[in-house]
Structure 1
Amino acid sequence: MKNLAVFALCSIATAAMAVQPTSPGSITIAAGATSLQTASLTNVNVTNKSNANNTAMQNLASNAGTIEIKGNSRQNVTTASSGSLQNESAGRGDFANQNVSSNAGRVTVFQGAYSEQTTGLRDTNVTNKAQGGDATALQNLASNNGDGIEIKGTSKQNVWSASSTVTNLASGNGAMATQNLSSNFGRVLIAGYSEQTTALQNASISNAANGARSHAIQNIASNDACDEPRDPCPTCH
């Protein structure tokens, strides 16, 4: 299976309009198979925004659901030339989830399998914002997020950034913003080889909780057992 998305001089946006998330399905990359998922973005603005008690979910070169990697999986997103990746939960009780070269759900990399996740940023602004009251914003870059992440084979997660900014902001009353870069977030078991790398050059990274009772969680090349004030991704587990 090969998925290739190339965008130039354009913008991509999703907005929630009174929709409900569907139950996740099952994705299997069989032994001996190769899955290549690539999104190459030049002068592109990618926006995922939830307004007015809704849910917005956006995936770029990502898998969501029950994911079993038994063969070779490569997920690659590159951005260049004044682009942006924005995930925002703006209304009260909103949920915005953006996955970039990531797996969300119940993720298993089986013994003998190979998973490679790369997000490359050049001259790009990456933002994750939870601004509405009790709003939740979750953004994953080259990361795995779910209730059961089991790495029994080989997993390589890499985020590199040059002349870019990465911002995680929780500013609403009771808002929670979670941002993961080359990280595993959830219940994590590593019984194989796991390599997590974040390389920054002339880059700016910020993590801020400004609202009352707000929470800003940022993981960089980390494993986080998801011990947060509330589950940031209940529909993914």
Structure 2
Amino acid sequence: MCSQRSLVSFAVVQHGAAPPGRIVESDAVPHKPERRQVWEVKVRHQHRRDNDYSVLCQAKTLQEPSRAEKLIGVGAEGAGKREERKESEEKAAAHMLGRVEKVAFRNTLRWDPRVGHAFTAGGVAYQVEDGALRVNRSGLYHVYSRVELIFRRCSPTSSFVHTVFVMRTGHPLRPLTLMEAHRAGFCSRAAEQAWTADSYLGSAVRLEERDRVLVNVSHPQHLSHSHDGNFFGLYQI
């Protein structure tokens, strides 16, 4: 006879009552009559002795909600709750690729969230209106950005500034600089010619819930048209 435990050993089956290897269900009465116990039985070992088959089994109880509980939704999560739990268990992360601009060149860059391997996960949202990645969880994040610029008539005085900053609730008009690079002296001293320069920024930073992270470039008109050459992202550590 099975005891009321999650893992139990039970049953001595007389010879002829059940053939070797047959799965036998327990007739144990559940402790709570209003809930139905489903016994999942697995034969682990058997041997024959004195014309008896002694079957050693393990059983695991699986709780299943009653019909009344199912009707009122107890014990069964809705699709919305499952999605919320899945999202909360995902690591907060995002990766944006460069967007080709042909008319308006903004210092605060916009990104393409749908091309290639761009994605958002774990509650991070991309804001189309200002190019920001908004985080919905406070914590430590690795934030990174790369930009690639092509100067058609590069000279020794050519330069640019690459900045990653955050707009924080409570400080709407004051951007907080997270990282910044000043690039200069990358062009040849020879006659003016086309030249490519890049900048990569990456660091671990502490972000707060609802922070908006953005990227600035001082000369956006020189950005290359490469999606993979320009990117921006973050992930929670």
Same fold (TM over 0.5): no
The structure in which a higher percent of residues are helix is 2
Higher relative contact order (CA 8 A, sep 6+): 2
The structure in which a higher percent of residues are strand is 1
Q: Shorter-chain TM-score category?
A: under 0.3
Larger Rg: 1 or 2? 2
